[in-house]
Amino acid sequence: MPTDSTLAPYPDLPLTLTRAGTGRPCLILHGGGGPATVAPLAAHLARTSHTITPTHPGWDGTHRPAWLTGIDDLALAYLHCLQDLRLRDVLVIGSSLGGWTAAEMAVRDTAGLITGLVLIDPVGVHIEAEPITDFFSLDARGVAEYAWHDSARFYVDPAGIPAGQLAVRQANQATMRVLAGDPYMHDPKLLRRLGRVDVPALLLWGASDRIVTPAYGAAYADAFGDGRLQVIPEAGHLPQIEQPEATFALIDAYLHHVGTGAAKAQ
């Protein structure tokens, strides 16, 4: 069963972690929609791995210190978290904003803690020909149309959301603006740094994603030293929710193919 705990890589930054399973450590990073968007993925991986799913500071009512104002801050905090937990041979999986965070972790991982990298429709880089849709300018129906393949199924009328839940969503978006609003949803320096990442990187992309398109994903994957793109049909920005079986199968195949860093070293 999943258990919640708190770890503070810095005195004023208590991180809320949900942990489950045993085996190879797997850090799972959510996107702007919060931890619920990766919960099914964490449950799947917990069958064979030790999953660690943080709630990003400022999401779902958690504390965000005033100095934590960028994805680079978040990436370093999670690297320090891995060090404090004395974890090695870590698989990092990130969705959307979490994928960007995972990429920033990989370029800063001088200790070689990360040996596997799966990014699911990540933002984080600037591709001139494929601009990132301005998520903050979309209303609820626009979000559904841009983020989902089956927009009718996943559209949620804000009028039907309880006031407490709506307040949490609005606070999450406010935090996302602080961390990723300027420059919008990318780090201008990240793209050219990815070539130094020698960890095999699997990028999974929903074919119908209109927040960041598969063409954006192809350029992202090409920037890695060892990157590969897999496009998932009939899925949008969150294929782990819209097409979970296909998404999980590709991740399982990646894990079977690359093995673990410990196994490679033998």
pLDDT at 258: 83
- What is d(CA 151, CA 42) in angstroms, rounded to the nearest whole number? 24
Q: What is the DSSP string of 21-35?
A: --SEEEEEE--TT-G
pLDDT at 1: 85
Residue 81: how many CA atoms within 13 Å on its side-chain side?
28
pLDDT at 55: 98
pLDDT at 261: 55
Q: How far is CA 154 from the centre of its chain?
A: 20
pLDDT at 262: 47
pTM: 0.96
Q: Which of 3, 242, 15, 11 is nearest to 120 (CA)?
A: 242
Residue 158 carries which DSSP code?
Answer: G
- What is d(CA 196, CA 238) in angstroms, rounded to the nearest whole number? 27
Q: Where are the domains of the chain?
A: 3-261
pLDDT at 260: 61
User: Between the CA of residue 256 and those of 106, 239, 241, 259, 260, what are the distances in Å?
Assistant: 21, 20, 22, 5, 9
Spans of the chain below 70 pLDDT: 260-266
pLDDT at 265: 44
CATH 3.40.50.300 fits 3-261, yes or no: no
